[in-house]
């Protein structure tokens, strides 16, 4: 049964008409409170993933749990439906189990804190924040085993529990949770940072209510939701067709030798409602690449994408959710059955954005974006330190990599950027100060972005020299399939990982692996993928290509993909360029809307020659559980 909200004041909020100036003040006060949540978090957390990279997501919601400001959409609705208990003043909820909140958080490393905000005995708002913990126990350091067969192998699972109950702190609960992690100091600090962030926002909401009155603040939240609903209703009516359109993309492999896994979505507008149906998506995997996709989260992804592409002035919140219907087959890769493993879900989560781009742009190619850096590749490195003064100390690094953003209708994709706009890079000086490693190269890798009128962003080469023996885990994708180009643009290059020994011997290693043993002076070359290109590369300004040669973003050899003849200093031979472009234009056929670099069977046949790794085998679903993809013995 759903959660029961306890209020000591039964008086309902009075309807109020708000003038535009007051609404604007409250809207921006809420925005600022959300920013203050982030600032509080990064000043209080200890783990690099949260403090340095910002892997945490805040929100402020109305009493019904609808997000007013935030980034990931509201996870409160799923919690309220699944929490069989009361919510009272002085409570604070703590949870991490995706299955207990309908996937509102999508793997157990994400710790979520929810704070109901009361004033005068009535619930006036919610504040919430979740952040990725670097370790929560489980079978491997980092708690994201790629070969997990069930969520039980991935570390501590926290159901919705009260970390504060009527103002009393549950210290024993926190001790129990911290006992499961390899980094209790980081996790305790990060948990306190989540709590502090929620309390800061709650204080700001209380101040707003004191200034304007509770009725006005509640009415302002309702107005902001209604305004978003009106804007999105008009946008959907003009941008989404009543004809069905479908798109399919892939997760390259599951880390245990099988793949690719298909994700298919069909979009159609029926009246005022846009229906997004994932029928045709592959069944769930036996490994950990499943993504428990919360319907409201996907509605937010869809809304953000629509707004960013078609009308960036719209403030996104949860007001438009009744205009979207999401259908996800039970037992599929995106709606796995308990206790399916979820720790490698980041690839499917990111691929959702490529699928949205493919859906929304097919009938309006002028708005179509290429495939880009649709993941958050992880590097985990752990062991015992050998540096003076730290001998024997346990170290554990979790870092998120960056890559190439896709070419767009209005310009090039940025080089070496995160999938999530708010993420920042961990400074190399920080890494070298706190971990036994040295960063020998960190650069945008030339020619990795797909060629096009608008170039795809380049991927990153980051070379780690390990100064102590340890164990490495890698979670990455797009090593088998390509980040596709659009409107005649070429695909970006694939991801690669190369381990170099002190004698110079190099070995290509998998993009999803655990328990890679490294020795002191080994170097891992961590290469991420580039974004796909947009438009005909032969129409790109030759002088701009020459400039990018000088900037190190394109090589002289790579310039020939644009039909540009230039030397290593970026000096363009205009006559030779004109001849080459004419030859290339005459030799090619019709430019494709999507360039995937070949179909799956073509990629499979060429995989080992092109990547140095064996092609993944097709997933097999059999046995007593038809929705389970398992390795054939």
Query: CB neighbours (10 Å) of residue 590?
Result: 6
**Residue 573 CA, distance from chain mean position:** 42
Asked whether the predicted pLDDT for residue 473 surpasses 70, the reply is yes
Q: 171: exposed, middle or buried (C-beta count within 10 Å: 0-12, 13-18, 19+)?
A: exposed
**SS3 category, 251:** strand
- How open is the CA angle 333-335-341, to the nearest 5 degrees? 65
The backbone torsions φ and ψ at residue 515, rounded to the nearest 5 degrees and listed phi first, read 65, 35
pLDDT > 90? residue 314: no
CB atoms under 10 Å from CB of 389, counted, come to 6
Q: What is the DSSP letter of 144?
A: -
Distance (Å, whole) CA 426 – CA 448? 22
Question: Rounded to the nearest 10 degrees, what angle do helices 184-212 and 171-178 cross at?
Answer: 140
246 has a pLDDT exceeding 80: yes
Q: Which of 34-48, 303-317, 413-427, 521-535 has the lowest mean pLDDT?
A: 303-317
Beta carbons of 161 and 79 less than 8 angstroms apart: no
Beta-strand pair 378-384/324-327:
unpaired
pLDDT at 83: 86
Give the span between the Cα atoms of 284 and 291, in whole angstroms: 9
- Predicted pLDDT at 78: 76
- The pLDDT tens digits for 92-138 are 999 999 998 888 888 999 999 999 999 999 999 999 999 999 999 99
Angle separating helix axes 214-239 and 184-212, nearest 10 degrees: 110
Domain ranges of the chain: 4-226, 240-293+328-364+601-633, 368-536+591-597
The number of CA neighbours under 13 Å toward the Cβ of 124 is 27
User: 419 — phi, psi (to 5°)?
Assistant: -60, -40
Does the pLDDT value for residue 632 go beyond 90? no
Pairing of strands 261-270, 273-277: antiparallel
Residue-wise pLDDT tens digits, 162-175:
999 999 999 999 99
Q: What's the whole-number mean pLDDT along residues 558-576?
A: 98
Instruction: Indicate the average pLDDT of the chain.
Output: 93
Secondary structure of 462-494 as H, E, C letters: EEEEECCCEEEEEECCCCCCCCCEECCCCCCCC
Using DSSP's 3-state secondary structure scheme, residue 437 falls into: strand
How does pLDDT run across 449-471, given as a tens digit for each residue? 999 999 999 999 999 999 999 99
Question: Whole-model pTM above 0.95?
Answer: no
pLDDT at position 631 is 39
Please tell me the distance from the alpha carbon of residue 411 to that of residue 451, in angstroms, as a whole number: 12
52 Cβ contact partners less than 8 Å away, ≥ 6 residues apart:
424, 425, 426, 427, 430
Distance CA 310, CA 101 (A): 32
- Specify whether the CB–CB gap between 75 and 110 falls below 8 A: no
């Amino acid at each position: 049964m759903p959660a029961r909200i306890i209020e000591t004041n039964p008086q309902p909020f009075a309807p109020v008409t708000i003038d535009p100036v007051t609404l604007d003040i409250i809207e921006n006060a809420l925005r600022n409170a959300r920013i203050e949540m982030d600032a509080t978090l990064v000043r209080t957390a200890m783990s690099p993933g949260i403090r340095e990279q910002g892997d945490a997501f805040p929100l402020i919601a109305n009493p019904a749990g609808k997000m007013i400001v935030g980034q990931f959409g509201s996870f409160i609705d799923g919690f309220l439906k699944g929490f069989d208990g009361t919510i009272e003043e002085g409570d604070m909820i703590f949870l991490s189990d995706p299955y207990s909140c309908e996937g509102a958080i999508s793997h157990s490393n994400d710790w979520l804190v929810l704070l109901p905000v009361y004033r005068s005995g009535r619930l006036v708002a919610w504040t919430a924040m979740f952040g990725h913990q670097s370790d929560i126990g489980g079978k491997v350091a980092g708690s994201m085993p790629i070969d997990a067969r069930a969520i039980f192998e991935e570390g501590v699972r926290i159901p919705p529990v009260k970390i504060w109950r009527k103002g009393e702190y549950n210290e024993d609960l926190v001790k129990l949770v911290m006992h499961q992690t390899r980094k209790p100091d980081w996790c305790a600090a990060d948990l306190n940072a989540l709590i502090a962030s929620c309390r800061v926002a709650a204080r700001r909401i209380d101040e707003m209510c004191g200034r304007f009155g509770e009725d006005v603040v509640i009415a302002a939240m309702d107005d902001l939701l209604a305004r978003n609903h009106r804007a999105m209703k008009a946008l959907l009516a003009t941008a989404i067709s009543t004809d069905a359109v479908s798109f399919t993309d892939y997760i390259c492999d599951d880390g245990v030798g099988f793949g690719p896994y298909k994700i298919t979505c069909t979009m159609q507008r029926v009246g005022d409602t846009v229906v997004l149906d994932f029928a045709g998506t592959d069944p769930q995997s036996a490994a950990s690449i499943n993504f428990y996709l919360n319907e409201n989260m996907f509605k937010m992804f869809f809304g953000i994408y629509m707004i960013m592409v078609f009308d960036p002035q719209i403030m996104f919140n949860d007001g438009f959710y009744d205009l979207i219907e999401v259908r996800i087959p039970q037992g599929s890769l995106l709606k796995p059955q308990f206790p399916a493993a979820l720790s490698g879900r980041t690839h499917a989560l990111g691929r959702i954005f490529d699928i949205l781009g493919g859906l929304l742009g097919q009938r309006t190619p002028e708005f179509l974006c290429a495939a880009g850096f649709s993941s958050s590749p992880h590097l985990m490195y752990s062991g015992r330190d050998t540096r003076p003064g730290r001998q024997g100390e346990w170290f554990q690094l979790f870092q998120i990599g960056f890559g190439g953003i896709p070419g767009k209708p209005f310009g090039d994709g940025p080089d070496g950027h995160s999938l999530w706009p708010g993420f920042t890079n961990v400074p190399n000086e920080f890494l070298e100060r706190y971990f036994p490693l040295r960063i020998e190269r960190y650069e945008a890798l030339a020619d990795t972005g797909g060629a096009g009128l608008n170039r795809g962003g380049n991927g990153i080469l980051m070379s780690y020299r390990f100064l102590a023996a340890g164990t490495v885990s890698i979670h990455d994708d797009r090593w088998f399939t390509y980040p596709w180009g659009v409107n005649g643009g070429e695909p970006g290059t694939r991801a690669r990982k190369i381990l170099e020994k002190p004698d110079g011997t190099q070995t290509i290693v998998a993009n999803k692996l655990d328990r890679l043993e490294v020795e002191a002076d080994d170097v891992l070359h961590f290469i991420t993928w580039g974004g796909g290109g947009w438009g005909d590369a032969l129409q790109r300004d030759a002088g701009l290509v020459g400039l990018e040669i000088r900037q190190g973003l394109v090589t002289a050899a790579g310039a020939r993909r644009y039909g540009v003849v230039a030397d290593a200093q970026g000096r363009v031979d205009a006559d030779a360029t004109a001849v080459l472009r004419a030859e290339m234009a005459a030799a090619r056929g019709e430019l494709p809307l999507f360039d995937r670099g070949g179909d799956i069977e073509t990629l499979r046949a060429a995989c080992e020659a092109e990547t140095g790794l064996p092609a993944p085998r097709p997933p097999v679903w059999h046995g007593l559980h038809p929705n389970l993809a398992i390795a054939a013995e």
